[in-house]
Each structure stands twice: as C-alpha cells, then as structure tokens.
C-alpha cells in the first residue's frame, strides 16, 4: 500500500473543483491545490484579505508588499481580479457565495465537525484568524489532512477532542489514504489508495465507513 | 474651506489620550499605518486598547508600542506569528489582555459600529470556545451567535491617495480593514502616500468617502 503524497492529494482535490467555481484555499497544505487546477477550467481563487482572481506567486523582482495572500505571501492578481475590504470579503464567504473552501485540520468528526485552530495545550496562545469564518462560510467545505497523527491515531474521530472550529460543516475529507464523504447517513468512501481494503481503512480510522466501491 | 490635511503625525495625534481604544488597519504589513503607529509611540498615551488583525511583528511598530507597556488590551484575530515574540512574552507574563475574535466577526463588529447596528447574529464561532457565554439563537434552523459592535475613539489607517476632503483610495490588498475601520471611530486619521487635488479622484472610484475621515497626513512612500 502506497500512501498518496501531498502533491497527489492536492491533485485529487483540484480534480473535483469544477469550471466557474469560486474557491478559497486555506493556509498550508490546501494552498498546494492551486498548482494543480486544470488550465482548461476558469476557477476563481478568493483570498480573505481582499482579492478575487488571485494568481500565482510572482518572481522575486515583481513582489509587491501590498499584494499578498492570507498567509501574507506575495501573489499576483489575474486579469478580471477584484479587490475589496475585509467586511465585504467575509460577507461573501458567510453569505454563501463561495462554492468551495479547502482547509487543513487536526481532526474531523464523523458528523463534519472540524478542529483546526487551537491545540488547547496549556500555554498555547489562541490565534484563530479566519479559520472559523472559513469553516462555516463556503457552500462546501473540504478538508485535506493526513489520515493519521504521527502516533498513528486517526484524525477522523467520533468526537473531536481538540477545540472546535466549526460544527457539522465539513462535507468531504481528502487524506493520504482515502477520500471520504460526510453524509447524513455517516461516512461514505469515495476512493482510497491502491492495496488498501475497506476493513483495513476502518481499522486505522476507528470509525465506521460505508463503501460501494 | 474644508481641509483635513495635517502637518505630520504628531499634529494629527495631538488629542490621543490615555485609555483610548484605537483601531489600527493592516493585514501584516499591507495597509499598516506605520507612521501613525510611530506617532502613537511618540505621543506617550498609555492604557490603550488596540483593535487590529495582528499583534505586531519584530520590534517595531505595534510590537514596539506593546514593548513600552502602553497597551492594556488587544482585540485581534491572529496574535501569534513567527516573530510576534513581544506580544507572546507580555501575554505569557499576564501583562496584556487578549480578546481573540474570528477575523470575519472582527470586521463585521467594526462595520456594525460604523453602520449604527447594535448587534448581529453570526454563524461564525457557534459551538466553539470563542462563543462561550454568548447569547445564541436558532433562525430558520441555523445556529447563530450574538456579537456586538466594536466602537473606537480613533481609527488609524493607511491609504494610497487622498484629497483634502478625506476621500480615499487604497492599493491592492492593502485595503483590507481600512474602509471599515474608517467608519467606526470618533476620529479617523489616514496616512496617505499622496494627497491629490480635490476632484482628481474619480468619484466612481472613491473607496472611502471623506465623510468618514477626519484627518489626513501625507507620508513618504517606503517604496
């Protein structure tokens, strides 16, 4: 069994984003999805610090400190781009105008709760940024994360043990082992790595996953 | 004749007082009114409440204001950064109060203050630590949290161009919190890269109408 690497995970997410979609890619692993969006589709990227039509990073000579993404890295604005202020930016998110948001996570529950902003560890300084707004804002929220922690514990859980970012908002999980939909009837397997069985995936995950594969 | 221009930041900040609540624009360094923040440091006012997306970086600007122990409380969405060690130290030693607000709620609470809204129900944060103790309501089978406006004494923002009436345009993603913060304070002060002739900003392109801006300071562009 060969796990999907980070680029393969990003490619899988990119494949599921249709022509014409408005998409916010969260900081970290989700940012990588941008590298795999098919050239033959027009997909408009939103960054919550006030830009629709975000393009790739510029070369070093063309960096502009006034043109950055939510991770505060230099980006470009594509033809057709629009700038707007923060209240508008989050209104378009909260108001259900964004089609997809892709987020990283510490944990996702079987009912679509997400924990991704705070470890809750004593002494950890809480910093939420746009995480809670993003989690509940888009029409569909995808999560990209490794399936297991470094200690081999499942990050898909019955109930999140980390502090929650949002409740019941995740609709699909992309991991390095599988793609899983969260439905009212429970988790449903969409795809998994070659050589993996549903029984093995459920054993690793510690939760029930139905499969029609 | 209306002329909101001031000769330098010291003049513009002359009535800043102890205990003031100050909105500070910017997302990281984009749109951060660095000259006005330096002016606050020089001014000497203390016991301040700062509302800004971040809590300062390195040892300059907002971080320096914090380091001088001039800030009692900070309301922000993301205090922790790779080089936010000044804030981190003060927070860990209990020398600064922190209110963490989800970024969209922060923007909307400021917007509400400027728009005369007494409070609003938002889905963001429902069921999380950041909504603990807050009033909630179910509306059309969705859950919401009641959030209140953030009013301020001063708003310090940065824009690209402004005229003597205070009409402003911004540059790219440096716009961020500027337009909402401008609406929410008793006194709004903008630092601008250039003051232009009245009428030279296309009225169709004005982002912040001058009604929201009280003072304007032209600063030397960094670039």
The reply to whether A153 belongs to the active site is no
What is the average pLDDT across A183-202? 97
Helix/strand/coil for B122:
strand
Cα of A39 to nearest chain B Cα, Å = 25
CA of A176, closest CA in chain B: separation in Å? 28
Residues A155-182: tens digit of each pLDDT:
999 999 999 999 999 999 999 999 999 9
Statement: residue B222 has pLDDT above 80:
no
State both tokens at B143.
């859950």
Q: What is the pLDDT of residue B83?
A: 87
pLDDT (mean) for A107-119: 97
- Å between A1 CA and nearest CA of chain B: 37
pLDDT on residue B82: 79
State the pLDDT at residue B220: 79
Q: Report yes or no: A96 at the B interface, CB cutoff 8 Å.
A: no
Please count the structural domains in chain A.
1
Contact A110, A186 (CB under 8 A): yes
Residues A105, A164: Cα–Cα separation, whole Å: 10
Find the closest chain B residue to A87 by CA distance: B107
Instruction: Give the separation between CA B132 and CA B124, rounded to whole angstroms.
Output: 13
Sign of the Cα pseudo-torsion (A10, B123, A162, A122, in order): positive
CB-CB contact of B47 with B18 (8 Å): yes
Tell me the backbone φ, ψ of residue B178, rounded to 5 degrees.
-50, -55
Percent of chain A with pLDDT over 70: 100
Sequence-separated (6 or more) residues with CB below 8 Å from residue A74? A57, A58, A63, A64, A65, A67, A68
What's domain B8-106+155-218's superfamily in CATH?
Glutaconate Coenzyme A-transferase (3.40.1080.10)
- On whether any CB of chain B is under 8 Å from the CB of A26, the answer is no
Out of A48, A63, A146, A200, pick the active-site residue: A48
**A194: in domain:** yes
Average pLDDT for residues B86-102, to the nearest whole number? 96
Chain B contact present for A55, CB below 8 A: no
pLDDT digits (tens, 9 = 90+) for A81-100: 999 999 999 999 999 999 99
A1, part of any domain:
no
Per-domain residue ranges of chain B: 8-106+155-218
Q: Would you call B108 and A49 a contact, using CB atoms and an 8 Å cutoff?
A: no
Helices in A16-161 by DSSP H: which ranges?
A: 86-94, 131-137
Q: Quick check: B103 and A130 CB within 8 A?
A: yes
At residue A11 the predicted structure's pLDDT band, cuts being 50, 70 and 90, is very high
Angle at B77 between CA B76 and CA B79, to 5 degrees: 70
Nearest CA in chain A to B25: A86
Average pLDDT, chain A: 96
Residue A31: inside a domain: yes
Where do the H-state alpha helices sit in chain B?
Answer: 8-12, 34-43, 62-67, 85-92, 103-115, 178-183
Does the pLDDT at position B221 exceed 80? no
Give the pTM.
Answer: 0.96
Q: Check residue B81 and give its pLDDT.
A: 80
% of chain B exceeding 70 in pLDDT: 99
- A41-54 mean pLDDT: 98
Count of pairs with CB atoms under 8 A, one residue in A, one in B = 138
CATH assignment at residue A13 = 3.40.1080.10
Which residues in chain B have Cβ-Cβ distances shorter than 8 Å to A47? 173
Domain with A119, as residue range(s), is 6-211
User: Residue A88's closest CA among B110, B63, B116, B128?
Assistant: B110
**Which of A120-134, A137-151, B44-58 is predicted with the least confidence, judged by mean pLDDT?**
A120-134
Q: Are strands A76-83 and A51-55 parallel, antiparallel or unpaired?
A: antiparallel
8 Å CB contact of A51 and B173: yes
Nearest CA in chain B to A136: B124
CA–CA dist B180, B111 (Å, integer)? 5
Does A110 lie at the interface with B, CB-CB under 8 angstroms?
no
Q: Does residue A36 belong to the interface with chain B, where contact is any CB pair within 8 Å? A: no
- pLDDT at position A123: 82
pLDDT of B87 above 60: yes
Of B88, B125, B179, Cβ closest to residue A125: B88
What is the C-alpha separation between B17 and A153, in angstroms, rounded? Answer: 53
Residue B85 has pLDDT above 70, yes or no: yes
The pLDDT of residue A212 is 82
Q: Is B91 exposed, middle or buried (0-12, 13-18, 19+ CB in 10 A)?
A: buried
Examine the pLDDT at A113 and tell me if it is beyond 60: yes
Q: Which residues of B touch A129 (CB under 8 A)?
A: 77-78, 102-103
Q: Is the pLDDT of residue A141 over 60?
A: yes
Residue B223 pLDDT greater than 60, yes or no: no
pLDDT of B128-158, one tens digit each?
999 999 999 999 999 999 999 999 999 999 9
Mutate to test the interface with B, among A70, A81, A132 (most CBs of B within 10 A): A132
Cβ distance B124 to A133 less than 8 Å, yes or no, reads: yes
Contact between chains at A66 and B30 (C-beta distance less than 8 A): yes
């Amino acid at each position: 069994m060969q796990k999907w690497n980070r680029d393969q995970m990003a490619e899988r997410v990119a494949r599921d984003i249709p022509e014409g979609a408005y998409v916010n890619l969260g900081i970290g692993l989700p940012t990588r999805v941008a590298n795999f969006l098919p050239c033959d589709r027009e997909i408009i990227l939103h960054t919550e610090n006030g830009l629709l039509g975000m393009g790739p990073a510029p070369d070093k000579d063309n960096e502009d400190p006034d043109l950055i993404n939510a991770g505060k890295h230099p980006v470009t604005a594509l033809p057709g781009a629009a700038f707007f202020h923060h209240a508008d930016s989050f209104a378009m998110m909260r108001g259900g105008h964004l089609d997809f948001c892709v987020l990283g996570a510490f944990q996702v529950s079987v009912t679509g709760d997400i924990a991704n902003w705070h470890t809750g560890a004593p002494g950890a300084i809480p910093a939420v940024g746009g995480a809670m707004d993003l989690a509940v804002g888009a029409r569909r929220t995808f999560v990209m994360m490794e399936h297991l922690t470094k200690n081999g514990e499942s990050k898909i859980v019955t109930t999140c043990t980390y502090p929650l970012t949002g409740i019941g908002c995740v609709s699909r999980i992309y991991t390095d082992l599988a793609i899983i939909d969260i439905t009212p009837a429970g988790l449903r397997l969409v795809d998994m790595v070659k050589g993996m069985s549903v029984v093995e995936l459920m054993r690793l995950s510690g939760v029930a996953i139905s499969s029609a594969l | 004749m209306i002329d909101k221009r001031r000769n330098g930041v010291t003049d513009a900040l002359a009535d800043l007082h102890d205990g003031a609540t100050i909105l500070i624009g910017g997302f990281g360094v984009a749109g951060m009114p660095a000259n006005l923040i330096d002016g606050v440091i020089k001014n000497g006012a203390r016991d301040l409440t700062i509302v800004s997306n971040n809590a300062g970086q390195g040892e300059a600007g907002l971080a320096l204001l914090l380091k001088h122990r001039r800030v009692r409380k900070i309301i922000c969405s993301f205090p922790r950064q790779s080089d936010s060690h000044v804030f981190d130290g003060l927070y860990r030693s209990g020398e600064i109060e922190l209110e963490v607000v989800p970024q969209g709620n922060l923007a909307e609470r400021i917007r509400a203050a400027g728009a005369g809204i007494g409070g609003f129900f938002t889905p963001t944060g429902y069921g999380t630590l950041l909504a603990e103790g807050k009033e909630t309501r179910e509306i059309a089978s969705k859950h919401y949290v009641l959030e209140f406006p953030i009013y301020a004494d001063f708003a310090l923002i940065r824009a690209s161009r402004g005229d003597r009436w205070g009409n402003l345009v911004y540059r790219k993603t440096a716009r961020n919190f500027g337009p909402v913060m401008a609406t929410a304070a008793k006194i709004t002060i903008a630092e601008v890269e250039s003051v232009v002739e009245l009428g030279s900003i296309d009225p169709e392109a004005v982002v912040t109408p001058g009604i929201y801006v009280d003072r304007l300071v032209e600063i030397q562009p960094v670039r």
